[in-house]
Structure 1
Amino acid sequence: MLVAAAAAGALAFSAEESDKSETFRQLELFGDILARVQSDYVTETDDPELIENAINGMLRSLDPHSSYMPPDAFRDMQVQTSGEYGGLGIEVTLESGVVKVVAPFDDTPASRAGVEPGDYLTAIDGESIVGTTLDEAVEQMRGQVGEPITITIARENEDPFDVELVRETIEVKPIAWRVEDGFGVIRVSTFNEKTTDSLAAAVKSLQAELGPNLPGLVLDLRSNPGGLLDEAVGVSGVFLNGGEVVSTRGRDPRDTERYNADGGDMTDGSPIVVLIDSGTASAAEIVAGALQDRERATVAGMTSFGKGSVQTVIPLRGGRDGAIRLTTQRYYTPSGRSIQATGIVPDHEIANEILDESALKRLRESDLPNALKAELESMAENEEIEHDIEEPPADYEGEDFQLQRGLEILAELNASRKTAAVAQ
């Protein structure tokens, strides 16, 4: 028995050594190719740029969200998550070498100019950006405040067109609120370091206007590209009395982290309708999934983007060499759902327009090159769902059918709540 165990251990060690040896051989191959390019390419090469592109190629082959950030881009990212930065106000991703819009942020040059989720950005100031890295494209879009910039947009079923913008200091205000039809409407546009505190302040303002026992509120997460995981947990905690919001699991299933709500439900159980669409991604999906699973809110709209992965930013040499953004975990809703590539399916599927083929083809996570696959169980469950999508009537003249229906659903929930209270 001891001899057999020793032999098995030796075989495992030998296989591990063989794997390392092959890795070193491949690194030598990379060095040989780099040396040949340096010596024989038709023009002189920029060696740091070649190596950076090679690193990005490796990371992009993993999934659409892993990438290398040079020092300048890393500093920009740190500024952006603090809630203020310079640029146009667009969340973008890369699809087949083309920059594609996930969503514009509210009240930014991009949103005011009519940039839409799913638009392709093909050129900046007349220079093609097709084939560039995502970081390079973002760097070109940023610049001095007040400087003009022209972006070329390719939109489905339309000829490419130019949009002229002026760069601004983008101070992303994550929360906007108002009263409509006697209910609170809270728009959450992103999850930065200010989101939870701003949401709590909005709820208090609504309670001051409508009374401490809110009749209900709409939480609008449409076209919200996500942001910080901790803020998603904080936002969910505004409406939950403790309990799990989300869990994350890495390569080893034993490395599970659970994030719980803290602080108690500020609204004391007031009815909530959460609005989502194909631009609702990442942290916004965590909130929608948590409130749906915990039966704290009714979710309405269209199936969300389906980004169910967590990226860890790993500084290199303290940030002096930039950082890598690496996908390290998947996240799961309280019931154990992974929404990677499948998204959150609303309780009430409601379109904001008459659906045609192009409307049904909105960009989602599963469309991105090298996207992490959905887990088999989740995909099977998703395929069994029969989609009965409510569309606006042909003669509808309103501006926002999803919000209108959300308010109507909220009124029904509030009436049921009052009836239940009387019955008690």
Structure 2
Amino acid sequence: MVPEYRALLPGVLLAELDPDVRPARRTVRDWVVDVLAFLFSIIMVLVLMAASDEQGVTEGTLAIDALLGLACSVLLWGRRRWPVAVCLVIAIAGVYSVTSVGAAIIAFFTVAVHRRFPVAAATGVFGVAGGLVFPVLRPDWASSLFWVDVVWALVVTALILGWGMVVRARRQLVLSLRERAVRAESEQQLRVAQAQQMERARIAREMHDVLAHRISLLSLHAGALEFRPDAPPEEVAEAAGVIRHSAHQALQDLREVIGVLREGGDDDAPDRPQPTLADLPSLIEESRQAGMRVRLDREVPDLAAVPVGVGRNAYRIVQEGLTNARKHAGGSTVDVIVAGAAGSGLSVEVRNPWPVGRATSPAIPGAGTGLVGLTERAALAGGRLEHGRTASGDFRLWAWLPWPS
């Protein structure tokens, strides 16, 4: 049995299959069964004592027989912990004692239920062998035909063994079904946790892509105001308006992400529309308004014809490329190339000259995980992504995404 599921199952059921597992204490059902078994054994002692008295058994023999029967009845209280040992002791006592028959039946039935068939069968053979010795020690109870006693011993042992095996098989089935239910519930919880983790990772990627773009625009405009304090009022007002708009959008995006991550959020709330490749011209224009020099080479006639999932990934790659260009190559011209067709795939390229000399403005901090996230995004979409310095000295970010026909 798988260890992680054993701890979730009741000890009483585990004890049915594994001899090394002991329930910590008897349940109410166990107490009821044990009391009834003890009373049954005591009643058998009284009945067989009365029968022995009618057959003229001597008082000394009857007293020894009764004491052995009572002792075997008391031993039944330990049958759950030591079923085989208790059964063997009672079988030894049964070689002489008639009144121990009730205790012997219960003890052997317990072995048949709680132990595997080879162990139960060997215990039954031991009991039958003791039954063969009984007519020699107690001829007052022996049948006139020896083989009749042998047949009865075999039949009763086989019936008890078969009954015990049926009960054991049923309990094994119940335990197996319960274990499957526990495993299925645990696996379902694991799948839910994995789905939540994947969703949180997806949200984290979106947050990085969106907020990095917004905040880099804020930094760019704020830097322009800092280095040009004597700019005309119209330009200052325009830059301040862009800063206000970008800050508002960044706060809105951040509020939505936090709302999704917060436990107990409204799962039925509609998601904010995600950008597609048709929104790429707006992204380029937004970057141009921030002072970037961006050239767009669009070789796809209809950007809206690109599938939504492919277009969203392409949009995020271009967005991250522009953000990186603002961070590390401010003032340079950035080329954005979008090409491809249905069936052959969609390629996206963002290229800018490698920065030379000392930066003219403070560097925009970054976590350094943007390209890692883009690589993972492209791989999950079934594509590939490359980035690095080219032979001509440019920094090139290139990705290919599958575009089904």
Common fold: TM-score over 0.5: no
More strand per residue = 1
Structure ID, larger Rg: 2
TM-score normalised by L of structure 2: 0.20
TM-score normalised by L of structure 1: 0.19
Identify the structure with bigger relative contact order (alpha carbons < 8 Å, sequence gap 6+): 1
